Chain A
Amino acid sequence: MELQTKQLNPQTILIHINGRFDAAVVEQVKRIWIENVDIHFVVADLSETSFIDSIGLATLVSGLKTTRQRGGELILLKPTEPVKVILELTRMNIVFKIASTVQEAETFTRTS
C-alpha cells in the first residue's frame, strides 16, 4: 500500500490510496484529518485502490463524520471497479459523494 497526500487548498486535502485499503493503513489515513483540524474537505482518491475491507469503509465513514462536523465533506474520487462493487453491495454508495475527476470533487467542496 502506498499513501500520498496533496493539499488542494488550505481546507482541502487529497489522499491517494494505492493498493489495499485495510487495517494496515487505516491509522495512517485517520491521522491526516485528526491531526489537521483546519482540513474541512477530504478527497479520497480511490482510483488505484485494489480492495477495501470493512475497516477501510469504517475509516471513510469516520472521516465523513469528522469533516461534516467541521462543515465539510469527504468525497470519494474515481473508485476502482472492485471498490465500487463493495460500495454498492454495502449501500455505502448512497452515503458518499462520488466524483469522477478532481475538478468535480472540488466543485463538491464549493457546494457543500
Chain B
Amino acid sequence: MTDRTLDEVLAYRKRIAGLESELDEMTVALAQAWDQLVPFLQAAPTQATSTLDIVPVLESIIAAIDARMGAVYLKRDNEWLTIPLEMLNVRDFYKYLDQLESGQIMHMHNIPAWHGRPTHWMFMPILINSKVVGAIGVGHEEGEREFTALDARVLTRMTERAASQIVAANLAESQAREAKLAREVQIASLIQRSIQPLTVPRLPTIEMTAQWMPASTVGGDAWGWVLQPSGQLACFILDVAGKGLPAALGAVSLHTALKMTLRLGLNPVNALETVNNEVYEPYTNAGLLATATVITIDPSSGEVEHANAGHTPTLVRTGNKWSLWNASTPPLGVLPEITPQCDYRILQSGDLLICYSDGFSEIETPNGFWGTQGLLHAIPDHTTSIDAAVQHILAAVEDLPNYGAAADDQTIMGLSFL
C-alpha cells in the first residue's frame, strides 16, 4: 500500500468516525426531544376540532426543539393561534399561504413579531390525503439560530400527529352525522308505517285487501281507507314521485290530506280537486308531484265512483271482462287546478277492482316492462276472491325471470263486491 493510499484510508476512517459521532449525538438529541414530547402528547386529545385541541402538540414541538414561539392554523374555520398569544400577525402568515400548498416545509424570514423584532418561522403544512388543511409552525428571533434538520424532522412528525387528530375528529363527526340521519330515516319510516292501515274494513258486502312494500326504509307510496258519514267506503292509493325522505314526507302529508277530505264526505273528484289546490304550491316549491286514485263504494248498492289523477290505470273486472279506468287528469301538484272525471259503475257480485303503483307495471322483464298486461295475465279467469287475485299478482312478480329486489315502491289495493 502506498503512503498516499494509506492517507486516504485514514482520512476516510476519520470521516466515518466523525459521522458516527454526529449520528450518536443526533440519536441522543432525538431521544431527548421525544422524551420531552411524551408528557405533552399524553395531554393531547385524540381528536382535534379546533386549534385549542392542537395546543398540546404545538407545546411539545416548542419544547422538543427549544423554539421561542409556535403557531397553528386550521383552514376549515380559518382559525389561528400562537404561543405566546398574538406573536405573529395572521396577515403576514396569509401572504405565504400559497407556498404551503406545495406540501413542503416553508420558511418565513424577517417577519415582524409583537415586540417589533424580526423573526424567522418554519411552517409545516398539515396534510390529509395530500390536501393542505392547516399548518403548524415554530419561530425564533431572526439570526438567533438556524433551524436544523432534526428540528424539521420533529416538526414534520408532530404535524402528522396533528393531522391524525383532525382525521379522527372528521371521522367521529361523519359517524355522528350518519347516525343522526339513520335515526331520522328510522323515525320517518315509523311515521310512514303508522299511517298505512293495519286492517281492512269489515263489511258484509265488500272484501278488501292491500299490500304496501317500500323499496327502501321509506318510500313515496301509501294507501288508506275511511268510512264516510254516508256509510260509503272511501279508499285511495297514492304515489309521490321519487324515493327516500322527500317522497316519504310528501306521501305522509298527502295521505293525511286525502283521508281528511274523504272523512268529511267528499266524493273522489272533489277530494282530488281540493287536495290539489292545497298541495300545488308546496309541491311546486319542492319539485314534487304525486299520482293518486280515489274510490268510493256504496256497500249496499255496489255503486262505485272513481277518479284518477295521473295514476296507473285501475283494473276493473265485471263478469269475466277486464277494463281499465285511466287517469283523467295530470298528477297532483302539476297544474294549479285540475278537473278529474268520475268513472261510475254499479258493481255486481264477484266484480273486482285493483289499483296498483308503477312499482309493479315498471318492473323490467327480458321482454320489456311488465306493464298492466303483466298484472292482468297473472290473475286466473276463475279467481273470485280479491285476496286471491292480489296473491296471484305477487306470486307472478316473484316468478319473473331475473327478478331480484324491487327497484321501486310497490303498493297494491283491491276490492271485490260480494
**Which of A's residues lie within 8 Å of B, judged by CB?**
23, 30, 53-55, 57-59, 61-62, 65, 82, 89-92, 94-95
Contact = CB atoms under 8 A, between A and B. Distances in A.
Interface in B274-316: 284, 287-289, 291, 309-313
B291 A90 contact: yes
Contacts of B239: 54
8 contacts: A54-B239, A54-B291, A55-B242, A57-B331, A58-B241, A58-B289, A59-B287, A90-B291
Interface of A is mostly: helix
A55 B312 CA distance: 15
Interface magnitude class on chain B = 20 to 34
B334 A89 contact: no
B362 A61 contact: no
A91 B330 contact: yes
A66 B242 CA distance: 19
B211 interface: no
Of the listed residues B287, B291, B328, B335, the one surrounded by the most CB atoms of chain A closer than 10 A to its CB is B287
A92 B291 CA distance: 11
Given A90-B310, A95-B334, 6 more contacts: A23-B243, A57-B331, A61-B333, A89-B326, A90-B311, A92-B334
Contacts of A55: 241-243
Interface of B is mostly: loop
What 10 pairs across the A-B complex have the smallest Cβ distances?
Answer: A54-B241, A58-B241, A90-B310, A62-B287, A91-B327, A91-B330, A58-B289, A95-B330, A61-B334, A55-B242
A65 B288 CA distance: 12
Contacts of A94: 330
B59 interface: no
B315 to A, nearest CB: 13
B330 A89 contact: no
Nearest to A30: B287
B358 interface: yes
B82 interface: no
Contacts of B289: 54, 57-58, 61
Contacts of A62: 287
A3 to B, nearest CB: 18
A57 to B, nearest CB: 7
